[in-house]
Amino acid sequence: MITVFGSLSADLVTQVKHLPAPGETVTGPAYTVVPGGKGANQALAAALAGAPVRFIGSVGNDGFRDLALSGMRAGGVDLSLVAESPEQTACAFIAVDAAGENLIFVASGANLDSRAAQLDAAGLTSDDVLLLQMEITHAENWKAVGIAKAKGARVVLNLAPAGPIPEETLRQLDVLVVNETEAGQLGAQLGIADTDPEAVAGKIAADFDLDCIVTLGAAGARSFGPSGRFSVPALPTEVVDTTAAGDAFVGAFAAALDQGRPMDQALRQGAVAGSLACRSVGAQPSLPKGKEIAAQLAELT
């Protein structure tokens, strides 16, 4: 089983002709409210890809609570360990331009009340995968990593949004997923002189004995580490909105790992899912189902 310890939110999304510069007001014709949050997105992406998934996080007792949980609930994600917080359910405010690029602001609210102690009731074992992101309190993430490793579970961290990570935590990870920006920031933290994201990923993999994956947008993804060195392309697709592309990649990748697939196949599944998620507006509404991913795998050259 995959246990996701992370964030969830209600996403308010509007389409604009261009993303605003500082001090600029840009209007959109309308907005939609959809479930989101990196943790919830990745949990649903993994479930849609065929994995059994449990989500652990926090919501407020407010009007956005049920909406924030609705996508995962419909996707069959186990929500029994979600806690109620006195803070408001998190909200994200997302603008998407004509090229599918986005600008996102997040009001964290209840996400910051999630605690690693919630994992105690999860019964993690060596058959489990713990999947984490960076939208909850970082110190609780690092505690969760320690709890999972003590139980023999595999740990996958998506360093998004980018933030500092203790070196002792890096040594406990099995898989680290970063994009180009996140690779650069982590490389700077670790004193890595090379700024090329692939070189940084290779250095991190070697120094901390983990599989480090760097996602490169339309250029696909690269992986370095004990499982081998692999390169996968992105699936050519019309880009409407890139909001959940990274989450789709990570969730589908984690599902493949949980299903016992080797690293190269897991990367291919993640790459296809990430590309397919760019076809429509919104985070969770754009996540592809397992049948859609399987149908497109052969198109990945």
Left if phi > 0, otherwise alpha if psi is -120 to 50, otherwise beta: which for 235?
A: beta
Mean pLDDT across 177-192:
96
**Answer CATH for 2-8+37-86+111-299 from 3.40.50.2300, 3.40.190.10, 3.40.1120.10, 3.40.1190.20:** 3.40.1190.20
The pLDDT of residue 301 is above 80: no
Supply the mean pLDDT for the chain.
Answer: 94
pLDDT over 70, % of the chain: 100
Report DSSP letters for 156-203, one per residue: EEE--S-----HHHHTT-SEEEEEHHHHHHHHHHTT-----HHHHHHH
Nearest of 141, 217, 142, 225 to residue 181 by alpha carbon: 217
pLDDT per residue over 23-60, tens digit each? 999 999 999 898 999 999 999 999 999 999 999 999 99
Q: Which residues neighbour 164 within 8 Å (Cβ) at sequence distance 6 or greater?
A: 138, 189
Spatial separation of the C-alpha atoms in residues 35 and 38, rounded to whole Å: 10
Structural tokens at position 258: 């949980």
The pLDDT of residue 5 is above 80: yes
pLDDT over 90, % of the chain: 82
pLDDT per residue over 107-149, tens digit each? 999 999 999 999 999 999 999 999 999 999 999 999 999 999 9
Mean pLDDT across 74-85:
97
Per-residue confidence (pLDDT) for residue 101, from 0 to 100: 85
Catalytic residues: 247
Nearest of 87, 95, 96, 91 to residue 106 by alpha carbon: 91
pLDDT per residue over 210-236, tens digit each? 999 999 988 999 999 999 999 999 888
Strand spans (E) along the chain: 2-5, 9-15, 31-36, 53-56, 58-60, 83-85, 91-96, 102-107, 129-132, 154-158, 175-179, 211-215, 221-224, 230-232
The pLDDT of residue 283 is above 90: no
pLDDT band at residue 238 using 50, 70 and 90 as cut-offs: confident
Per-residue confidence (pLDDT) for residue 243, from 0 to 100: 74
Per-residue confidence (pLDDT) for residue 233, from 0 to 100: 92
Mean pLDDT across 167-179:
98
Per-residue confidence (pLDDT) for residue 108, from 0 to 100: 96
Mean pLDDT across 187-200:
95
